[in-house]
């Protein structure tokens, strides 16, 4: 049998798990203080929900669960669908289903936290796991741009509270982007397909995007006009108005940017970026992404998805969310060797016949310390060296004085 975890998944040592717990708890504290409430949903969803969620390329990365027993045998014999369930590929689709099921029991607007594992059938490589954690906040039931402002600033404060600096929020609006794509000549029905390809700009470059559009069957004149646009994308709202007119979406986007700049007070940046797409097809309005300038990577993203809940209940419910890519954040802060605030830990070393006395003594010490119990070994020096290596503050040999003796290496 194999001892290694399945490719694309990870084991975490105690010190790594402590860091992960600390980061998640710190993020949760920031979100809770802003009035967001945490929920939990199953990792398994109905396959029909997953496949009809407009998740872009993620739909090809769903882990499908086969039917069981007679249902599987029947499906194999008839050539029908053999999967009826799947693992969630993000937390947005499960949230939409959750809201549709429980909306009568929830506040409006509903400000919600989700921090949980998701699964994608990726080809495992650096930065791309099959099992990973996302930290989401969403606001459901309001179409106000104040929701975008609150989500962006709250997420940014969570990162600042963890000591992360030098990051920028890039922001765009799908409606503006689609107006620009219509100007290029693309048919309205094909815009989602164009957006999925455009979202790969950072990965495959301009030439790769243009090649994929041609392979998808788009007309050469459309692609050529799009090529000219990519050469000089509008980078200011004034340039955008010259191209699209003074649309309400541009007014709203400019208001979001100026409001967030006032809240940021120079601690982080926000800028308009017409090339920002976000690959999921369910986005209907604003989209945003956090880019770390120190580590040259994205560490989160989100946007408005006003149509997704309506797929379940047949009526439009406005919704917008922001997700932190927790694994990327964990890797960055692990590399920085950040110090985790914690109480000092002591070891209580006991003889095998005085364990109850040891437990009683340990209860008193827990007022000031975290406590770990060890039966006294034959080679005490080896144990003390290991404790020092692990960062223990000190130790007590119960059969002796019962006083705490400090170890040399402390953290």
Whether 114 and 42 map to the same domain: the answer is yes
Confidence of residue 411 (pLDDT cuts 50, 70, 90): very low
Decide which of 282, 303, 335 is a domain's last residue.
335
Task: Evaluate whether 233 touches 126 at the Cβ level (below 8 Å).
Answer: no
Decide which of 313, 335, 357 is a domain's last residue.
335
Residue 88 belongs to domain with CATH number = 3.30.930.10
Residue 392's domain comprises 345-406
Task: Decide the pairing of beta strands 394-397 and 345-350.
Answer: parallel
User: Residue 17's pLDDT is what?
Assistant: 94
Whether 330 and 356 map to the same domain: the answer is no
Whether 378 and 286 map to the same domain: the answer is no
The verdict on residue 212 lying in a domain is no
Whether 349 and 314 map to the same domain: the answer is no
Whether 145 and 273 map to the same domain: the answer is yes
Residues 117-137: what's their mean pLDDT? 90
**pLDDT of 126 above 80:** no
What strands, in cross-sheet order, belong to the sheet with 64-66? 44-46, 83-87, 64-66
CA–chain centroid gap for 156, Å, is 13
Decide which of 276, 300, 335 is a domain's last residue.
335
Task: Evaluate whether 116 touches 134 at the Cβ level (below 8 Å).
Answer: yes
Q: How far apart are CA 112 and CA 95, in angstroms?
A: 9
Q: Is 367 exposed, middle or buried (0-12, 13-18, 19+ CB in 10 A)?
A: exposed
Q: Is 243 exposed, middle or buried (0-12, 13-18, 19+ CB in 10 A)?
A: middle
Whether 331 and 357 map to the same domain: the answer is no
Whether 329 and 351 map to the same domain: the answer is no
Residues of the chain above pLDDT 70, percent: 99
The verdict on residue 71 lying in a domain is yes
β-sheet bridge partners, residue 346: 371, 394
Q: How many domains does the chain contain in total?
A: 2
Average pLDDT for the chain: 91
**pLDDT of 203 above 90:** no
Whether 107 and 145 map to the same domain: the answer is yes
The verdict on residue 181 lying in a domain is no
The verdict on residue 9 lying in a domain is no
Q: Is 297 exposed, middle or buried (0-12, 13-18, 19+ CB in 10 A)?
A: middle
β-sheet bridge partners, residue 374: 349
Whether 62 and 129 map to the same domain: the answer is yes
Whether 269 and 303 map to the same domain: the answer is yes
Residues 97-112: what's their mean pLDDT? 96
């Amino acid at each position: 049998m194999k001892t290694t975890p399945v490719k694309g998944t990870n084991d975490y040592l105690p010190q790594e798990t402590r860091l992960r717990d600390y980061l998640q708890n710190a993020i949760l504290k920031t979100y809770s203080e802003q009035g967001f409430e945490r929920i939990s949903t199953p990792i398994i969803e109905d396959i029909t929900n997953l496949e009809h969620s407009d998740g872009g390329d993620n739909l090809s990365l769903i882990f499908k669960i086969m039917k069981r027993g007679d249902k599987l045998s029947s499906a194999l014999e008839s050539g029908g669908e053999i999967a009826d369930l799947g693992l969630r590929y993000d937390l947005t689709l499960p949230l939409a289903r959750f809201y549709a099921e429980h909306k009568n029991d929830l506040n409006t607007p509903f400000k919600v936290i989700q921090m949980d594992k998701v699964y994608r059938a990726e080809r495992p490589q650096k930065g791309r796991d099959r099992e990973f954690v996302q930290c989401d906040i969403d606001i459901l039931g309001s179409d106000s741009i104040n929701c975008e402002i609150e989500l962006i600033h709250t997420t940014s404060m969570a990162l600042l509270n963890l000591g992360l600096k030098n990051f920028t929020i890039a922001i765009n609006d799908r409606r503006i982007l689609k107006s620009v794509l219509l100007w290029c000549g693309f048919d309205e029905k094909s815009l989602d397909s164009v957006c999925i390809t455009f979202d790969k700009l950072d990965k495959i470059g301009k030439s790769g995007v243009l090649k994929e559009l041609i392979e998808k069957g788009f007309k050469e004149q459309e692609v050529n006009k799009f090529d000219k646009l990519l050469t000089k994308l509008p980078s200011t709202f004034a340039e955008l108005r010259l191209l699209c007119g003074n649309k309400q979406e541009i007014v709203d986007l400019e208001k979001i940017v100026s409001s967030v700049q006032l809240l940021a007070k120079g601690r982080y940046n926000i800028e308009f970026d017409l090339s920002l797409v976000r690959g999921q097809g369910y986005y209907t309005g604003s989209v945003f992404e956090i880019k770390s300038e120190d580590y040259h990577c994205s560490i989160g993203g989100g946007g408005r998805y006003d149509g997704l809940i309506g797929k379940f209940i047949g009526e439009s419910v406005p919704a917008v969310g922001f997700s932190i890519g927790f694994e990327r954040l964990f890797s960055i802060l692990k590399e920085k060797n950040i110090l985790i605030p914690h109480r000092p830990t002591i070891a209580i070393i006991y003889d095998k016949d005085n364990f109850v006395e040891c437990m009683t003594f340990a209860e008193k010490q827990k007022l000031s310390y975290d406590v770990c119990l060890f039966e006294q070994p034959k080679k005490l020096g080896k144990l003390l060296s290991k404790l020092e290596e692990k960062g223990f503050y000190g130790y007590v040999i119960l059969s002796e004085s019962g006083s705490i003796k400090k170890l040399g290496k402390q953290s």
